[in-house]
């Protein structure tokens, strides 16, 4: 299907000849020469968006000449001009947790459009969509040669219904490809294979057009590909579905923060150490909703793998993306990963012609800047519950003592003084830490025992420098006779098969195996909560002793309750440090000065004894990470193994929803939908479902990880004769709204301030008694009572989990009122017809004294609602006191007003397609 571009104006459409082949392109210098504005000093990231405006300019229906001129005004205004624009990414990337419900919605839309008298074939992706199955594998088996195959077998047993459904979608929809299980993580597959940096396609006239490779993805870490100068970011599944159906993404021209990197990394530090510092700095600066572009002489010494690591964690520092312009390193990486030479030549020529090339003179205008000398980076980790909780490695053990004292409600400093008064003060004061014997074992666990050490996630397993480094740490430890501590569950889950190829070529996989880091699968695993169960006796000891068990992982997220229900403190670290901590087995150990263990010669072994030099790492990377390895492993990327090829499915135009399926159900969004949109109504007489604190993440809101039999979701499955062993995870059941609405706001660590000292998904029901969020919601909905939720700052931070918004909608919540919202979740709420509001004038849930017993009404929504306008909200307290406040309506654009009028973005799209 050709791309549909705007008017073919001679002013901006030019021809580029590379290697004897000619392609059309839309020229930014030509637009400047035509008098549309001065674009020379725009950041490369913003020029990508500007090119999109040039290519789709259609006289004002969606993109106007004024939209193009607004980019020149952005530069003239010092990097600010928040004009609403309609942006069209080239393609969409999905993973199976978020992708399954998106395909479920498309299948339901086919049913819906037929019910409105339309043609089911109108429901097809207009833009290319790739879905990579990477989120389903769980670590049931580990630490032995059988682990990989046994986990794969269990993955297919658990997920066959989902895989049959996805295979149906691959056959039923145009422009939709599925990368089978066991291939890799979507972002790494995107970086290593799918992304092209400069894309080409034919337009409606049959001419070939070159343009920047851009995308949106249904996973927040879609940003990783910005390391390859491909502009992309995460959106909710709802927004992605609209994009694949041809709807432009409504956005404001963003501010762009320039992050200057100078110097070079020093001996003993890694790209992970660098990115954790970047996260800390940018979170402190505040870059939510903004682009960050990296520039400076330091990029000359920064491999693309390290750039991708930094770009990957844009959600952790809060930015829409972290972009690296095209330069010689971009071309080197494209060549080394097997891209065609003709494509590489086009990338360079296009970038130079259209002002996207970074050289020594690259000095654009930025909204604001900050600077980091990479020579100042030190080894570090982050934790225990936020990626920005940066800890230089030599402070980590001391910081953990503070975690213990906070949890126990004891001041560690005062406790140490008291002990010193009675006698010699222990260092550190161990009396603060509880311990518990483990049944059947000759050891005890204590606060700080590391029960999970996992080399996992796209963030670091895409980086051969840290992966080779981890293998060398394992080799040196093995040679000295060290092994993991027996209570540590170790795992290695690379982001692509290429990683295994070079680890085996270097002989390092054998060393990793020897200390327990056997291959467990190709997928996200621990980083998304698929860490699998730990030894039952360990779990029992942790619960019985109320211990603060810990995990160390090479991932990007360490939010509360995410990694394992047995673990309270989670730390992000580079793969080499994950190996080191597995050897130490305890967060109380200062691994910079204390021994990791005792070697076979009876002597203590320290971190410095097993840490490889940068030269050792670089030599092995140069030797084993080859173009041939990438060509070999991606030769049949869509074919899959025998198991995938054996998956049987139907070839029907619409999906035959199996009534007994507990994985895939027809969602209720489009049932009984009329052909015309409604209007936005005031919210009157709403009750409060939850009062939540600061930094409530989408992990807190959205169902994620495992769940137990006594939860609403567990009871639903038990009622349908599903044994606990087959519960799988919330993520794998995202195609069943009945499960997911029962798991919304059910995170084991969420704290509803309506209740005192209670963790988990509980609230007050209509009778005032404690009950589950789900049961209270059902009771209120049966009575016809609307619901609201109150929150603090950065509400909805974290992953682009569409179910955080879908579940909120299905629980009957009409509005969320918070101090501030994270970008993706705010957009998702609007996409599901839930209105976000922000407090104004210094009001917060605390200053207002909210307990959850209030009744809330919000007026001023009916009629011509202006985006971002303030509207009155009336709060009636339990004692009858009434207070009126002003709240800002975070419907940000005119298009979003239409979405809310229609009940959501998919309803808006479906009605328009039915009309056409």
Kindly state whether residues 599 and 696 are assigned to the same domain.
Answer: no
Are 458 and 594 part of one and the same domain?
yes
> 616 and 696, same structural domain?
no
552 falls within a domain:
yes
Nearest to 828, CA basis, from 813, 848, 844: 813
**Domain finish residue from 559, 594, 625:** 625
Same domain, 538 and 405: yes
Domain limit, last residue, from 580, 596, 625 = 625
**What count of residues does the chain have?**
916
The answer as to whether 691 is a domain residue is: yes
263 within domain boundaries: no
**Residue numbers of the chain with a pLDDT score lower than 50:** 1, 8, 419, 425-429
* Rg, C-alpha atoms of the chain: 27
CA nearest to 261, candidates 198, 196, 315, 329: 329
Share in percent of the chain as helix, strand, coil (round to 5): 40, 20, 45
**Rounded-to-integer distance, Cα 477 and Cα 452, Å:** 19
The answer as to whether 711 is a domain residue is no
* Tokens found for residue 866: 């202006």
Domain co-membership, 804 together with 691: yes
Q: What is the pLDDT of residue 422?
A: 53
- Confidence at residue 235, expressed as pLDDT on a 0 to 100 scale: 86
What was the pLDDT predicted at 417? Answer: 56
Q: Are 654 and 727 in contact (CB under 8 A)?
A: no
Q: In the prediction, which pLDDT does 418 show?
A: 54
Residue 170 lies in a domain: no
Domain boundary among 625, 650, 674: 625
Q: Is residue 375 one of the residues assigned to a domain? A: no
Same domain, 688 and 604: no
Coil, helix or strand at residue 158: helix
Are 105 and 655 a contacting pair, CB within 8 Å?
A: no
Backbone phi, then psi, for 760, in 5-degree steps?
110, 180
Q: Can you give the CATH number for the domain in which 805 is found? A: 3.20.19.10
What is the domain extent for residue 773? 683-703+752-915
Identify the three-state secondary structure at position 198.
strand
pLDDT score at 431: 63
Indicate whether 422 and 525 sit together in one domain. Answer: yes
- Report pLDDT for 9: 56
Give which of 72, 75, 60, 83 is closest to 28, Cα–Cα: 72
* pLDDT of 2: 58
Query: How would you list the strands of the sheet with 321-323, edge to edge?
Result: 321-323, 291-295, 256-262, 368-373
Residues 503 and 603 in one domain: yes
The structural domain count of the chain equals 2
Examine the domain organization and report whether 693 and 790 are in the same domain: yes
Cβ 533 vs Cβ 539: under 8 Å: yes
* Domain identity same for 688 and 566: no
Residues 589 and 699 in one domain: no
Q: What is the DSSP string of 371-397?
A: EEEGGG---EEE-SS-TT-EEEGGGHH
In 3D, which of 29, 145, 15, 896 has the Cα closest to residue 519? 145
Would 292 be classed as within a structural domain? no
Distance CA 571, CA 580 (A): 13
Q: Is residue 911 part of a domain?
A: yes
Q: How many CB atoms lie within 10 A of CB 281?
A: 17
Q: Are residues 607 and 688 in the same domain?
A: no
| Neighbour tally for 591: CB within 10 Å | 23
Domain holding 524: CATH number?
Answer: 3.30.499.10
C-alpha dihedral sign at 818, 820, 824, 827: positive
Helix (H) or strand (E) holding 542: helix 536-545
With the CA atoms of 791, 793, 799 and 800 taken in that order, what torsion angle do they form, in degrees rounded to the nearest 10? 70
């Amino acid at each position: 299907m050709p791309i549909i571009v705007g008017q073919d104006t001679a002013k901006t459409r030019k021809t580029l000849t590379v290697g004897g082949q000619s392609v059309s392109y839309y020229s930014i210098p030509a637009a400047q020469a035509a008098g549309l504005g001065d674009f020379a000093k725009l950041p490369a990231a913003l020029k990508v968006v500007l090119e999109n405006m040039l290519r789709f300019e259609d006289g004002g229906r969606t993109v106007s000449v004024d939209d193009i001129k607004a980019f020149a005004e952005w530069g003239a205004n010092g990097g600010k001009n928040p004009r609403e624009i309609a942006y069209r990414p080239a393609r969409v990337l999905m993973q199976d947790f978020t992708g399954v419900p998106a395909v479920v919605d498309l299948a339901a839309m086919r049913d819906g459009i037929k019910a409105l008298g339309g043609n089911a074939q109108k429901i097809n992706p207009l833009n290319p969509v790739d879905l990579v199955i990477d989120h389903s594998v769980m670590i049931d088996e580990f630490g032995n040669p059988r682990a990989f195959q046994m986990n794969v077998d269990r993955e297919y047993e658990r997920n066959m219904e989902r895989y049959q459904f996805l295979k149906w979608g691959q056959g039923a929809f145009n422009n939709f490809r599925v990368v089978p299980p066991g291939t890799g993580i979507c972002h790494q597959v995107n970086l290593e294979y799918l992304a092209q940096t400069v894309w080409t396609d034919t337009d409606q006239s049959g001419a070939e057009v070159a343009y920047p490779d851009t995308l949106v993805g249904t996973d927040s870490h879609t940003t990783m590909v910005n390391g390859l100068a491909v502009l992309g970011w995460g959106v909710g599944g709802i927004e992605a579905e609209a994009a694949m159906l041809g709807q432009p993404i409504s956005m404001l021209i963003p501010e762009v923060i320039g992050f200057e990197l100078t110097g070079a990394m020093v001996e003993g530090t890694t790209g992970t150490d660098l990115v954790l510092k970047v996260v800390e700095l940018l979170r402190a600066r505040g870059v939510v909703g903004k682009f960050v572009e990296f520039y400076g002489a330091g990029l000359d010494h920064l491999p693309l793998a390290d750039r991708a690591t930094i770009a990957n964690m844009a959600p952790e520092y809060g930015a829409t993306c972290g972009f690296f312009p095209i330069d010689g390193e971009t071309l080197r990486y494209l060549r080394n990963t097997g891209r065609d030479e003709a494509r590489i030549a086009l990338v360079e020529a296009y970038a130079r012609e259209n002002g996207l090339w970074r050289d020594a003179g690259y000095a654009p205008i930025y909204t604001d800047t900050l600077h980091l000398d990479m020579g100042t980076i030190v080894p570090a980790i982050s934790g225990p519950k936020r990626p920005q909780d940066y800890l230089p490695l030599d402070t980590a053990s001391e910081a953990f003592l503070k975690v213990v004292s906070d949890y126990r409600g004891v001041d560690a400093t005062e406790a140490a003084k008291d002990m010193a008064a009675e006698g010699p003060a222990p260092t550190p004061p161990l009396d603060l830490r509880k311990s518990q014997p483990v049944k059947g074992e000759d050891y005890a666990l204590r606060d700080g025992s590391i029960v999970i050490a996992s080399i996992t996630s796209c963030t670091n397993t895409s980086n051969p420098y840290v992966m080779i480094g981890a293998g060398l740490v394992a080799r040196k430890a093995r040679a000295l006779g060290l092994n993991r501590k027996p209570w540590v569950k170790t795992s290695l889950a690379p982001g692509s098969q290429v990683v295994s190829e070079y680890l085996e070529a270097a002989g390092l996989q054998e060393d990793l195996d020897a200390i327990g880091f056997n291959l467990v699968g190709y997928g996200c695993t621990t980083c998304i909560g698929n860490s699998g169960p730990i030894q039952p006796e360990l779990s029992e000891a942790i619960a019985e002793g109320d211990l603060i068990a810990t995990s160390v992982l090479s991932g990007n997220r360490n939010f509360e309750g995410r990694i394992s229900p047995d673990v309270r403190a989670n730390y992000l670290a580079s793969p080499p440090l994950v190996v080191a901590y597995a050897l130490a087995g305890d967060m109380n150990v200062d691994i910079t000065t204390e021994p990791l263990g005792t070697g076979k010669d009876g002597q203590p072994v320290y971190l410095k004894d097993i840490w490889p030099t940068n030269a050792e790492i670089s030599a092995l990377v140069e030797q084993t990470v080859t173009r041939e390895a990438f060509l070999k492993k991606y030769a049949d990327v869509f074919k899959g193994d025998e198991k995938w090829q054996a998956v049987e499915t139907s070839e029907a135009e619409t999906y035959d929803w199996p009534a007994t399926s507990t994985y895939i159900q027809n969602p209720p969004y489009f049932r009984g939908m009329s052909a015309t949109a409604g209007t936005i109504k005031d919210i009157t007489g709403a009750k409060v479902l939850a009062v939540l604190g600061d930094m409530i993440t989408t992990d807190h809101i959205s169902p994620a990880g495992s769940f137990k039999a006594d939860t609403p979701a567990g009871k639903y499955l038990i009622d349908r004769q599903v044994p606990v062993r087959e519960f799988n995870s919330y993520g794998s059941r995202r195609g069943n709204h009945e499960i997911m609405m029962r798991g919304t706001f059910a995170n084991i660590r969420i704290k509803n301030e309506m209740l005192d000292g209670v963790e988990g998904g509980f609230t007050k029901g209509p009778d005032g008694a404690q009950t589950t969020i789900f049961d209270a919601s059902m009771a209120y909905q049966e009575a016809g009572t609307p619901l609201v939720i109150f929150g603090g700052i950065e509400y909805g931070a974290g992953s682009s989990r569409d179910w955080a918004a879908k579940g909120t909608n299905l629980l009957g919540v009409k509005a969320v009122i918070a101090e501030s919202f994270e970008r993706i979740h705010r957009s998702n709420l609007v996409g599901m017809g839930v209105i976000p509001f922000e407090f104004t004038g210094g009001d917060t849930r605390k200053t207002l004294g909210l307990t959850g017993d209030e009744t809330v009404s919000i007026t001023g929504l009916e009629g011509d609602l202006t985006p971002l306008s303030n509207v009155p909200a009336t709060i009636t307290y339990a004692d009858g006191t009434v207070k009126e406040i002003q709240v800002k309506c975070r419907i940000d654009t005119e298009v979003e007003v239409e979405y809310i009028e229609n009940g959501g973005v998919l309803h808006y799209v479906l009605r328009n397609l039915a009309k056409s």
